[in-house]
Amino acid sequence: MISGGPGPVEDGPFYDELATGHRFVEPPGCTLTDGAAAVYRSICGDHWAPGLDHRLGAALTGAPRPLAHPGLVVAMSIGASTAATRRVIANLFYRGLTLARPVHIGETLRTTTEIRALSDASRKPGSAARGKMLLGITTTADDDVVLAYERCALLPCRGDALPGHTDDIGSSSSPLALDRYTSTGVGDWDLTLLGDRDDWQVDEVRVDPLRDVVDGATALVRLTHNLASVHRDASASANGRRLVYGGHTVALAQASLERCAGGLATLVGWHECNHTAPVFEGDLLSFEHRLVDELDVGGRLLRAINVRVHAHRDDAEPGLVLDWTPVVVTR
C-alpha cells in the first residue's frame, strides 16, 4: 500500500495516552538516492568497499544497481519509526534486528511501527512520571520485507500519574545464535573479490587507532527524518544539551569496524545494541572490536563482533556510550 503525504504535526505521543497494539500512521516512503548515500558517507565516513566502488559492487552481486549502505537503510528505518517517539527521553535498546537481503540505491523504503508492550518505569521522589514502550518495526524495500526488529524507548507522561502498565518488555540480551542469520541474501556473491580471508581469532580484540569526532549530528537527524525533539532542541533534553541520535554513534562504530575487519561483505543484523550513556556533538569517540563467534556457511563466515565505544570529554575518564554486537558476512 502506498501512503500519501505526512499528517499534521502532533504534540506527543505521551506514555500515559498509549495502548498496546496501537499502530502509528505510516510516514511517507523514502526512495534511496545517490545524494542520500553521499550525505550519510560524509557524516559517518564509511569504508564499506561494495558500496563505495560501484564496479566492485556490480561484480560482487551480479546486479547493475549500486548497493545502499546497510547502515543507511537501518538509520532510515529508525528515523521513520520516530513518529512514536517524538517526546523520547532516551532509547534504551534495540533487539533482534535482521536484514533479510541487501538493498539497492533506487529502492523505496516504507516503515510500519506498532506498540508491543508498555511498562511503567520506577519513579524517584520529585521525578516526572514516565514509562517504557516496546515498539515492533518493519521496513520494506520495493514491497519486500527487508528489516524487522524491536526498539525500547523511555517516554514521559503528559500527566502526573502513571497509568499502571505492567507488560513484560523482556531483556535487551539474548543468547547468540548465528544460524538465525544464515538467510542473508548474499549466498551467490563472489566474495573472492574481497581479497584474502581475515585471520581474526575468536576473543581477539582489535583497537582502532583512529578515534573520531561526532559532528553533523542534526544533518543526520534531518536526513533520516528523525522527529525526536531531544536531537534538535536542547531544552527538550534533561541534560540541557542536544542528544546525538543513537544511530549516529552506531554509524561511526560501523565505519570503524569496516576499517578493522578485512573482507567484510555486508552487515546482516544487530544481535544486541545498548546505548549505555548519552552522546553529545563534539565528543571524541574511540572504538574496540572483539570477535565473539563465527559460523562457516558455505565457505563464507558469519561473524558476531562486539563493538564498544567510549566518549572522551575534556579531562574526564572515557565513558562507555555504546555496547553493540553486529553480525556481518565476511570472506
pLDDT, mean of residues 17-36: 95
**pTM score, whole prediction:** 0.93
How far is residue 281 CA from its own chain's centroid? 18
Distance CA 257, CA 250 (A): 10
Beta strands in the chain (DSSP E): 30-31, 90-99, 108-120, 130-141, 144-156, 205-207, 212-213, 264-275, 284-297, 300-312, 319-330
Asked if pLDDT for residue 3 goes beyond 80, the answer is no
Which one-letter amino acid corresponds to residue 75? A
The pLDDT tens digits of the residues spanning 81-92 come to 999 999 999 889
CATH architecture of the domain covering 15-161+182-190+217-276? Roll (3.10)
Confidence of residue 297 (pLDDT cuts 50, 70, 90): very high
- Considering only residues 7 and 274, tell me which one the structure prediction assigns the higher pLDDT: 274
Cis before 13? omega within 30: yes
Asked if pLDDT for residue 5 goes beyond 50, the answer is no
pLDDT, mean of residues 160-181: 92
